[in-house]
Amino acid sequence: MSFAAPLFLWYFLPAVLLAHWILPVRFRNAIIAVFSIAFYAVGGKEFVLLLLTMMVVNYAAGLAIGRARAADRTRGLTSPKGILVATVAGDLAVLAIWKYLGFASVAIDQLGRALGGSGSPVIELALPIGISFFTFHHLSYVVDVYRGTRTPMRNPLTFATYIAMFPQLIAGPIVRYHEIADQLRNQHHDRWGDFVEGFPRFAWGLFKKVVIADSLATVADTAFATSDPTFTTAWVGALAYTGQIYFDFSGYSDMAIGLGMMFGLRLPENFRRPYSADSVTDFWRRWHMSLSRWFRDYLYIPLGGNRGGRTATYRNLSIVFLATGLWHGAAWTFVLWGAYHGALLIFERATGLAKVEGYVVVRRAVTFVLVVFGWVLFRAADLDEFTKMAGAMLVPDGLTLPALGLAPELLTSTAPHEWVLLAVVPMLVLLPGTFVMGRVIDGLDGTSPRRQLTARLVALCSSPYAALAAVAGGFSPFLYFQF
């Protein structure tokens, strides 16, 4: 179920809010847990059984780790480490089977044929919606309990609220257990005040998704579908997708954070003006920050981080970004996209470019171009499509008007307002890197009450148009639903 769908906006959300307001505040977690399972069942259908099974296993594992820690067991399968290893292996096995088994079978088949064999069976499995996100939440839970960062949840409904919380279940932000454990246990909050605070953030995210991202999607889809794109068509498509994925995913994150606020829960920020970054290293401090923090805490640092010297650091960065690419999807394009960003980070670290000061406009422009080029690889359906688009972007087929002009499909299918929105995308580079609209709406960046009020009014005034567009069917699924 999409946050921008009429079913969610006009039926599901009012129903869960009404239950939250009518019932005593101590029932908050139970309400969220029950409605969240229903929310997933609508979109995930039979895969809700997979989600519930993983929840039962990890809930029991958390309790077992807690008991083993209290008993001071140090060895064997019943030790905290033994239980952790078994649980993590099980969670990763589920993710590997449902998300990567098909990709692996295709790769094995292609390799066999390349070596002169007859090939092998190709496995096709439907991808459970949001599996990457709720798997990472389960892993965070058992690891945090094992580390003693937080105690295990005793109440199964409280645990279900953390894992299945509908604001972040499908596409994040990825909430590490230790970030929200205390909030889940503390159910004393101002319900009306929470709604007043959270709704403008939700409305702002809805506007970003329905009005901006979905408009840019039309331009991007048309450009990428062009059989022989010109230099200009390829760059227009790349810029359109650059804007689409940012406003789509950050819009979802704003909506999720706003929904969390309505129930008295503070979810972590996920974006901080990423296209204002002055290096690729800085970009990853601003883009999908909850994923970056997760990989830092549960993969990069356990691998040794930057403590083992330059070679070990580069190795760890490579592993993390290959994992980042694979996390996004089971395809060679995602693997290469992760390797591309990992290579850029290693280059910046090796040369010291990430710490260079001055020339801010130039550094931002170069970073933006590198990120845009990476998004072409991320968006491409396969390596052939990437080669087609990248070739047109890098090597214009002559300097004549036909070679540099726009494809006729773009000229006939793109509305005037979509061209205006497209022109705004490169201008994001020029905005102050510290100005984040969501944090202004929330009043978390120390802005004056007047500025905060203005931002909230902008969000609220834009929401009716976005809601009407959603009712008219002018929305598409969030891009990160596929991950």
User: Active-site positions?
Assistant: 328
For residue 120 the two structure tokens come to 């092998």
CB 98 within 8 A of CB 125: yes
d(CA 27, CA 481): 29
Angle at 43 between CA 32 and CA 160, to 5 degrees: 30
Whole-angstrom distance between the N-terminal and C-terminal Cα of the chain? 15
Q: What is the DSSP annotation of 378-445?
A: HH-SSHHHHHHHHHHHHS-S-SSHHHHSPPHHHHHH--HHHHHHHHHHHHGGGS-TT--HHHHHHTTT
Contact yes or no for 170/133 (Cβ under 8 A): yes
- Counting every residue, how long is the chain? 483
Please report, for residues 99, 100, 183, 301, the alpha-carbon distance to residue 94 in angstroms, rounded to integers and kept in the order given: 8, 10, 29, 24
**Token pair 């214009």: residue:** 396
Count of C-beta atoms within a 10 Å radius of residue 151: 14
CA distances from 139 to 136, 154, 427, 454 (A): 5, 17, 39, 40
What 3-state class would DSSP assign to 350?
helix
- Which stretch of DSSP H or E encloses residue 313? helix 310-328
3-class SS of residue 186: coil
Neighbours of 89 (CB within 10 A): 10
What single string gives the DSSP state of each residue in 88-157?
A: HHHHHHHHIIIIIHHHHHHHHHHHHHHTTS---PPP--PPPTTHHHHHHHHHHHHHHHHHTSSPPP-SHH
* CA dihedral over 414, 416, 419, 425, signed as positive or negative: negative
Three-class SS state of 171: coil
Which residues contact residue 324 at a Cβ distance below 8 angstroms, ignoring those fewer than 6 apart?
291, 295, 338, 341, 342
